[in-house]
Chain A
């Protein structure tokens, strides 16, 4: 695989919390436009891997190129990526629309309007309600809208099915399909292995911070 065609080129990535190594030398390559499923038990290092690659945290060892940029080139990587994290990244006292508009103000490319993004995740009717009044599933949908707003070329989705209802599951698959059709690369860390395996191009299984 040529380096130019790679969305991610990770080599011996490592990260520790205190004395415990959450990632202990993970290496892999992922071509542009592919969907990768990252599987593994709780504590296997899935979230840490996605957080390092999205530059939310630093690696304690190893190297990686994300969209052709070294992990130290954080601003360049952040222009190209979006992370759906365990945390919603939302302001409780603001409405759904205001939360998306704040994110949109900081996006590089002109993003789709907040109203469009809310429509796509089924929250148009609650656009002006404060996030504090939302259920966990609705917060997850709003976080998805935030990812769509960023128009990423690489999307990191950490447990995207968590807290969602069956309609929400379909929404995740629809969004992943749209991202893939737009040429984006998608990494999905999930326990829903059977569901994601249907459309993932590449599988990566982690065990105790290493590739199994």
Chain B
């Protein structure tokens, strides 16, 4: 697993210019949302939702590119022909995608604070929600990215398949983030975080089981 993760991080590092482009895309999305609403108190109220929409839209770019290098010279087939389980390769890639999304989410938080006046002192909680939400997106996202990587319309297919599946993760992430920003007098945030954790457990185990059926002939 460590070797698979190391390989993914090395590949991501070599194509780091793309990560900067994805961040700019995410930040631009947040800016456009603020233009759409206009200067209003509603901006702060919906800041959590906008953050997650920005992260979700950016994630489709990250995820759809994550199998590009694997398909270029059929490198993934080359790895599968070594005595390594497809599951190990999946978890390596899904973990690397999670790390990339977490970094992107953390980088987008200051943009959200500035644009939506959504300052909060509950930074560790926000980071935990970003971690769980990103993991909940990248587990099925990595699987679907593998499925669509050889399709002509992969950029369209991936969000079409992924978005309906991750509605519960998106909902829980938005609710938990909003509670962290706006205040949580009733302690509801913990329930949403528990829900996120449960969905992660389901997605990470199911997708790991299904991956070899997707990539093996």
Contact = CB atoms under 8 A, between A and B. Distances in A.
A92 B83 contact: no
A91 B71 CA distance: 9
Contacts of B78: 85, 87, 89-90, 103, 146
B217 A56 contact: yes
Nearest to A52: B217
Interface residues of A, number: 30
A163 interface: no
Nearest to B82: A106
B65 to A, nearest CB: 12
Contacts of A78: 80-83
Interface stretch (B10-18, B129-137, B179-187): B10-18
Contact of A91 (B3, B69, B81, B85): B69
B82 A107 contact: yes
B154 interface: no
Given A94-B14, A98-B10, A75 B85 contact: yes
Q: Binding site of A, secondary structure by majority: helix, strand, loop or mixed?
A: loop
B69 A88 contact: no
Interface string A81-113: 111010111111110001000110111100000
A105 B83 contact: no
A91 B74 contact: no
Contacts of B85: 75
In which size bucket is the chain B interface? 20 to 34
Given A57-B217, A58-B217, A98-B10, A91 B75 contact: yes
Contact of A107 (B77, B80, B83, B217): B83
B69 A93 contact: yes
Interface in A194-209: none
B73 interface: yes
B20 interface: no
Contact of A54 (B3, B7, B10, B81): B81
A153 interface: no
B69 A92 contact: yes
Interface in A92-147: 92-94, 98, 102-103, 105-108, 146
A93 B73 contact: no
Interface string A20-64: 000000000000000000000000000000000011111000000
24 contacts: A55-B81, A56-B77, A58-B217, A74-B216, A75-B83, A75-B85, A78-B81, A78-B82, A79-B83, A81-B81, A85-B77, A88-B73, A89-B75, A90-B75, A91-B11, A91-B72, A91-B75, A92-B73, A93-B14, A94-B14, A102-B10, A103-B78, A106-B84, A107-B82
Given A78-B83, A90-B75, A94-B14, 8 more contacts: A54-B81, A78-B81, A82-B81, A85-B74, A89-B74, A93-B15, A103-B82, A108-B83
Interface of B: 3, 6-7, 10-11, 14-15, 69, 72-75, 77-85, 216-217
Top 4 A-B pairs, shortest CB-CB distance: A89-B78, A105-B3, A87-B74, A93-B14
